[in-house]
Amino acid sequence: MKYETLAKDIIKNVGGKENVNSLTHCITRLRFKLKDESKANTEVLKNMDGVVTVVKSGGQYQVVIGNHVPEVYADVAAIGGFQAGDSEASDEKTSLFNKFIDIISGVFTPTLGVLSATGMIKGFTALFVALGWLTNTSGTYQILNALGDCLFYFFPVFLGYTSAKKFNANIFIGMSIGASLVYPTFSTITASGKPLYTLFSGTIFESPVYITFLGIPVILMSYASTVLPIIISTYVGSKIENFFKKVIPSVVRTFLVPFFTLLVIVPLALIVIGPLSTWAGQLLGAGTLFVYNLSPIIEGILMGAFWQVFVIFGLHWGIAPIALNNLAVLKFDPILAAALGASFAQTGVVLAILFKTKNAKLRSLSIPAVISGIFGVTEPAIYGITLPRKKPFILSCIGAAVGGGIIGAMGTKGYIMGGLGIFAIPSYISPAGMDRGFYGAVIGILVSFVLGFLLMFFGGFKDDEVNETKKEDSTTGGARGEVLVKQETVISPLKGEVKPLSEVTDEAFSTGALGKGIAIEPFEGKVVAPVDGVLTSFFSSGHAIGITSDHGVEVLIHVGKDTVKLKGKHFYPKVEQGDVVKKGQLLMEFDMGAIKEAGYVLTTPVIVANTTNYLDVIETEQKSIDYQEDLLTVVV
């Protein structure tokens, strides 16, 4: 296994395989559903070689890997014994929105690769016809068009499979439901037959009836490319299947459960669920088009500006099904089109950083981020470069907003769910050819990219910095000429006895898993800031403080062992999370006597959480230390 070591480390730090309810992956992320997220070592994972960052959103614990996530996923699944969509009941209470995001991502994620691939084939086929390289009557066109259409036309079958896995149902029952919805004979009946009668005449739901089932009218609709009918039908089917599993003897369960389940759910899907969900989809499509038509420019600006924020929190999964529904109902989608420039704005910003920076590590991160960004994969750029530095990320959002406004003004629409990045461009060719909307997409992309680059290049770029000090020669007392050592000093946040980290009784600290550092047995109940920086985390229980220095060193101060159980009792914060602090500033006071009386030890680890980013972390050799004395030296 190529990523065996990384896979084992990931499983260990998400709390072990027994803490995993389910595992899936998308283009760049492993998406875990954990039984207890508090058991995961998030900071360890964030600083692990091979992991870009960790995002907790939509009820999922997302470990961002990068473009090679399928290979890592395969090794994690093999070592952990996971299967895609594996799940168990969890006691965790989540909001309806989180459940919705989880269902949508679980159902659509497995199809993304093939969905993008077939979309790219269809897009490039349309491009070849528009350029006159192919005619739509040639055999080459017919085969390529069939290949591009196959997944989307039979989408209910594929979604029947993924939905069944998500809802813990028989996958072949899910596929059978999807196949019944797109059964070719039904479309033949509606095309050539005469309706028996019409339901809901004179309303927007007017529906001709061609066939009945046991005397009940069946409203035949086109379910090719649809999303809602199959997901809802499979969910209901999973409940029906579970009922029959309980009442049918195990000796005949293998064939009688599918038999009775399909007999119930397929007619129910065709008579009730399919028409109702189709009408709901039509209303949703009309509603999004109404909002879009109010002001395409404003919609474009907002979607462009916030798309990358949606991606960070996984909220884009709430928009993707709307776009798929629009493609099925309206035959086009203007919503996702506005976000087209976001990845290019992000890429332009990173390219400017690549040209401006003199930091070797930042350059090494920027090169692959630019390459992957061109092809629409921006997580390496976002999490590795722009988001940690804040300003570049904001500038990329501005570039994307301007591009989105142009795309909205030009009336750009997507006609297929195609590829990402430059491979998405053919998706915006209308059936009539390259129109105003297509050129709007190209202009929006170029403007987003160029504006992102210029804003970053001329926007007061500040290179990554570290303190530079001249090393004194121990024999002469003079400076060693041109030799410079880049380092940052972390001062002591407490007054007390210095102990090696190995003496801490908490293995997460004593083994160095959370980073290198030192421990202090405090003499006073007071904690001061060890660096100039931002208070990035201050637990509500008051027992742990995380500070990121102005130069990127992440310092974690953990007062005592298991003191989180005190739930903040005896801890008195003097600052708040997000505050900018200076060295020596009082952060917190705590009642040493009361905490000890409650049965807790106060040995306090002080560690550099992102140790792997540096050459070394050197501890002081002092046996006791006072506030603001040098405690750790971080060597870059």
Instruction: Identify the three-state secondary structure at position 349.
Output: helix
- CA 85/CA 168 separation, integer angstroms: 8
For position 506, what pLDDT does the model report?
74
* Closest of 381, 585, 404 to residue 491, by C-alpha: 585
Q: Residue 58 — very low, low, confident or very high, per pLDDT cuts 50/70/90?
A: low
Asked whether residue 312 falls in the same domain as residue 372, the answer is: yes
In a domain, 438, yes or no: yes
Choosing from 23, 26, 227, 518, which is the catalytic residue? Answer: 26
| pLDDT greater at residue 601 or residue 284 | 601
- pLDDT value at residue 221: 83
pLDDT in tens, 506-525: 766 777 777 889 999 999 99
- Determine the residue type at 365: L
Q: Are residues 183 and 308 in the same domain?
A: no
Residue 533 has pLDDT above 60, yes or no: yes
Q: How far apart are CA 322 and CA 302, in angstroms?
A: 17
Instruction: Name the amino acid, one letter, at 138.
Output: S
pLDDT at 91: 43
pLDDT tens, residue by residue, 477-506: 443 333 333 578 899 999 999 998 888 887
Q: Does 542 lie in the same domain as 595?
A: yes
At 317 the pLDDT is 61
Mean pLDDT of 126-130: 82
Residues 401 and 496 occupy one common structural domain:
no
Q: Write phi, then psi, for 272 (nearest 5 degrees).
A: -120, -60
**CA geometry: angle 252, 255, 258, nearest 5 deg:** 125
Residue 107 lies in a domain: no
Specify the CATH number for the domain of residue 594.
Answer: 2.70.70.10
- 162 and 175 in contact (C-beta within 8 Å)? no
Q: Check whether residue 501 and residue 387 sit in a common domain.
A: no
Alpha helices in 459-591 (DSSP H): 507-510
Q: What is the pLDDT of residue 413?
A: 92
- The answer for residues whose C-beta is within 8 angstroms of residue 580's C-beta and 6 or more apart is 533, 534, 535
pLDDT at 119: 72
How confident is the model at residue 315, as a pLDDT? 61
Tokens 């000090």 sit on residue: 469
The number of angstroms, rounded, from the C-alpha of 294 to the middle of its chain's C-alpha atoms is 30
Cα–Cα distance for residue pair 226/223, rounded to 1 Å = 5
Q: Say whether pLDDT at 404 is over 90.
A: yes
Q: Largest Cα–Cα distance in the chain?
A: 105
The pLDDT mean for the chain works out to 83
Of the pLDDT bands very low, low, confident and very high (cuts 50, 70, 90), residue 250 is: confident
Rounded Cα distance between 260 and 271, Å, is: 17
Q: Looking at the predicted structure, is the pLDDT value of residue 461 above 90?
A: no
CA distances from 456 to 132, 163, 177, 257, 307 (A): 40, 43, 52, 61, 19
Query: Within this chain, do residues 277 and 306 fall inside the same structural domain, yes or no?
Result: no
> In residues, how long is the chain?
636
pLDDT higher than threshold 60 for residue 309:
yes
Query: Exposed e or buried b for every residue in 574-599, given b needs 16+ CB within 10 A?
Result: ebeeeeebebeeebbbbebeebeeee
Is 301 a domain residue?
Answer: yes
Question: pLDDT confidence of 473, banded at 50, 70, 90?
Answer: very low
Whether the Cβ atoms of residue 33 and residue 61 lie closer than 8 Å to each other: yes
Spell out the residues 6+ positions from residue 25 whose beta carbon is closer than 8 angstroms to its own: 31, 69, 70, 73, 109
What confidence tier does 622 reach under pLDDT thresholds 50, 70, 90?
Answer: confident
Per DSSP bridges, beta strands 616-619 and 544-549 are unpaired
Based on the domain organization, do 283 and 315 belong to the same domain?
Answer: no
Mean pLDDT for the stretch of residues 297-312 = 85
- CA-based end-to-end distance of the chain: 32
Whether 77 and 159 share a structural domain? no
Place 84 in a pLDDT band, splitting at 50, 70 and 90.
low
If pLDDT is split at 50, 70 and 90, which confidence band does 474 have?
very low
Q: Specify the pLDDT at position 604.
A: 93
Q: What is the pLDDT of residues 550-569, one digit of tens each?
A: 888 889 899 988 787 788 88
10 Å Cβ neighbour count for 540? 11
d(CA 152, CA 156): 8
Portion of the chain with pLDDT greater than 90, in percent: 30
Amino acid at 227: V
DSSP H or E stretch at residue 359: none
Confidence of residue 468 (pLDDT cuts 50, 70, 90): very low
> 238 and 203, same structural domain?
yes
In the three-class reduction of DSSP (H, G, I as helix; E, B as strand; rest coil), residue 536 is classed as strand
| 607 vs 553: CA distance, rounded Å | 10
Residues sharing a CB contact under 8 Å with residue 134, sequence separation 6 or more, in sequence order: 125, 128, 140, 141, 144
Is pLDDT of 87 > 60? no
| Any domain includes 204 | yes
Distance from C-alpha of 195 to C-alpha of 189, rounded to nearest angstrom: 9
Confidence of residue 223 (pLDDT cuts 50, 70, 90): confident
Q: What is the CA radius of gyration of the chain?
A: 29
pLDDT in tens, 579-590: 888 999 999 999
Domain identity same for 434 and 484: no
Neighbours of 333 (CB within 10 A): 25
Q: How far apart are CA 583 and CA 284, in angstroms?
A: 54
Tokens (6 digits) for 210:
């061609």
Q: Number of folded domains in the chain?
A: 4
Task: Please confirm, yes or no, whether 150 is among the known catalytic residues.
Answer: no
Q: What is the CATH number of the domain that holds 87?
A: 3.30.1360.60
Looking at the structure, tell me whether residues 613 and 501 fall in a common domain. Answer: yes
Point out which residues pair with 496 in neighbouring strands: 522, 625
| Position 313 confidence tier, pLDDT thresholds 50, 70, 90 | low
The two tokens of residue 525 are: 């109940």
- Model pTM? 0.52
Structural domain including 542 reads 468-635
Q: Classify residue 116: in a domain, yes or no.
A: no
Does the residue 104 lie in any domain? no
| CA–CA gap between residue 520 and residue 626 (Å, rounded) | 10
pLDDT on residue 88: 40
Backbone angles phi, psi at 538, to 5 degrees: -145, 100
Query: φ, ψ for residue 133 (rounded to 5)?
Result: -80, -25
Neighbours of 486 (CB within 10 A): 15
**Residue pointed to by tokens 């705590």:** 590
